[in-house]
Amino acid sequence: MIEQNDVFKDKYIDFMLTESEVLIKLVNEAIKKGEKLRKDITRLQKVSEKILESLSEYELFSEISELHRAKPEYNYVVGIDGSCQLVGGLGGKWYAPISVVRVILKDCFVQGKFRYVEPNVDIFWAKVIEINEPVDGNPARKAILYMLAVETKALSYWSRKGYEHSLILLDGPVVDPPSFYGETERKYAVYRCKSILRCLSVYGSEVIGCVKRIRDRFFIAYLSDILDEELKSRLKDFINDYHVLAHLFLNFRFSIGDNKTPYSGPLFTRPIDLGSVSDTYRFYRKHGVRVLCSFFQKSIASPILRIDISLPEQSYEEKRLELPEIIKAIDELIYPGQEYPYPVFLAHEKCNVRKGCAEVLYDEIITRGRIIDENMYVQLMMSYMR
């Protein structure tokens, strides 16, 4: 394993090897950018303080006191993730190694209390698919959609087992891909909705998306509907949801801390209906799946996660959303030293098809020409494709 110090040394060596005249100018530019960044943070701190004050009546934030009372009850916790790489392309023929993994924890929540159990790693899918270059010239989109379809199949197959009280954690949003480009994506989304609803129909089961990279503007769109015109105009200063949430979370932590020491424990927001701010989420709602989101931070030093919670649209009003139980379960599943729930983290690591692996599969196995006969034509054609 590469030590962190070794990585730092490599960066330092690269830094010192840069031409000195270039380095002097770059360092001076970096100092200027750092000063600008500090000024921007100070300015946005004041803006976010005003936004937080305006949001006080909505009681948007919740903290650890609510989690103390929560008692999650799940017989199974399942993490699902997929990975793909695209290689080839010469002659219009591409290959995509695809892997989808389910990590299963059985009886890790007993009588509302969490206990560590050994995970069962289920390699649900590991195949190399062949793709002829599509008309739009974007084979990567086709490969990713294929991978997502297999992820959804892994979700669907779990529902067929009928395991009650299952907490199913997806690495990424419930709605994936987050936007549609054509009829193929729409058909896939309908299939995904049906698979999610099958899981939700099993007693006590939940389907949750854990979004690690929050680059959307869903929360900003939500804020623009409830803030006054002055604050609404200041939202453009924030790049994305993560940017504004980082400021709001930190301001809230300082506001409830003692003697200017910020509160450092778990913090989460009330759920927001994404169907009100996104066409794609409205499409899912039309096909029976309503998605609410809550933003969660385990500690002051942890990244903020978006927790997508899927609910059946048909029985939405009748179903009680057990948000504290869901957040408490996710909080317990983020082990010390990690940033994401363990089943999601492990599924991501186990399914990961690295670029080098895909290239070796293509160069050394698919196109190497491992054939018994000595057909020179075949050998030459394979060499052209490498």
Q: Give the H or E element holding residue 283.
A: helix 279-286
Least confident of 46-50, 90-94, 245-249: 90-94
Six token digits for residue 70 = 């929560």
What is the rounded distance in angstroms from the CA atom of residue 87 to the CA atom of residue 232? 46
What is the rounded distance in angstroms from the CA atom of residue 181 to the CA atom of residue 195? 21
pTM of the model: 0.87
Q: 64 versus 373: which is more confidently predicted?
A: 64
- Which whole number is the average pLDDT over 331-350? 92
Opening angle at CA 331, ends 239 and 281, nearest 5: 45
Backbone angles phi, psi at 352, to 5 degrees: -60, 115
pLDDT digits (tens, 9 = 90+) for 285-333: 999 999 999 999 999 999 999 999 999 987 655 556 778 899 999 999 9
Q: Which residue, among 80, 117, 63, 128, has the nearest Cα to 268 in the 3D structure?
A: 63
pLDDT digits (tens, 9 = 90+) for 208-251: 999 988 888 889 988 988 888 888 888 888 989 999 999 999 99
Six token digits for residue 267 = 């913090």
Q: Report whether pLDDT(170) > 90.
A: yes
Asked if 79 and 346 count as a contact pair (C-beta separation under 8 A), the reply is yes
Opening angle at CA 298, ends 296 and 302, nearest 5: 100
Q: 67 versus 74: which is more confidently predicted?
A: 74
- Assign 73 to helix, strand or coil: coil
Radius of gyration of the chain (CA): 24
Q: 244 versus 259: which is more confidently predicted?
A: 244
pLDDT digits (tens, 9 = 90+) for 174-205: 988 767 667 888 888 899 999 999 999 888 88
Say what the pLDDT of residue 6 is.
57
Q: Report whether pLDDT(1) > 50.
A: no
